[in-house]
Amino acid sequence: MSTHSSTVHNSLGEQIYQSTGQSVACCYQCGKCSAGCPLASETDYPPNQILRLLQFGDSTLDEKALRSLTIWQCLTCQTCSARCPQEVDLPKIMDFLRQESWRQGRAHPKARNIIAFHRSFLGSIRMTGRMFELGMIMDYKRRSLNFLQDLLLAPKLLFRGKLHFLPHRIDGAKQVRRLFDATARKRGRTE
């Protein structure tokens, strides 16, 4: 459903609309998304307030949304979109905000480990076409500098055969890598 206004140009809300088709103007602030969001009490802004910040088309408020911790804590669980009477796809908006926040170097300092995990996870998929757990964990520790975190779990995981020393490449690994590289080129950067 779209009641998007074209009066607010170049705002973050406008960019979201152009990129995802989601209109922040559709939200009438009923709060049903935040009432069901499992993270609403832990975040700096509950999800409906993120949309409220974006509704003004004001660069200062846009920046608050980009610098929020909420966008990084969002689990993409879809509870909010399932409850929304206006069919606003909040997870899609959160996804856009995360990308934009990182691209602009405005990510919340507490999101550092979350971003490290995202990058290590995607790096593993890019290299082999599927998850290589041991490689991902080592890359995550290098990025996050959390060398001792969960260290005692490693022997148990190895014993149960959950960690493998060598990656297993899928048949279409090269094609997967090309997709990643094409996406990075489109965004004007290399990972």
Minimum CB–partner distance for residue 52 and ligand SF4 (Å): 8
Binding mask 56-75 for ligand SF4 (x = CB under 6 A): ------------------xx
145: left (phi over 0), alpha (psi -120 to 50) or beta: left
Restricted to residues 22-41, the positions that interact with ligand SF4 (CB under 6 A) are 27-33, 36-39
> What whole-number distance in Å separates Cα of residue 191 and Cα of residue 176?
14
Which residue in the set 4, 58, 61, 86 belongs to the binding site for ligand SF4 (CB under 6 A)?
A: 86
Whole-Å CA distances, 42 to 15, 47, 71, 106, 112 = 27, 11, 12, 20, 17
Minimum CB–partner distance for residue 5 and ligand SF4 (Å): 16
- Residue 22 has φ and ψ, to the nearest 5°, of -95, 130
Which residue in the set 5, 76, 104, 183 belongs to the binding site for ligand SF4 (CB under 6 A)?
A: 76
Positions in the binding site for ligand SF4 (CB under 6 A): 27-33, 36-39, 47-48, 51, 74-80, 83-86, 88, 90-91, 94
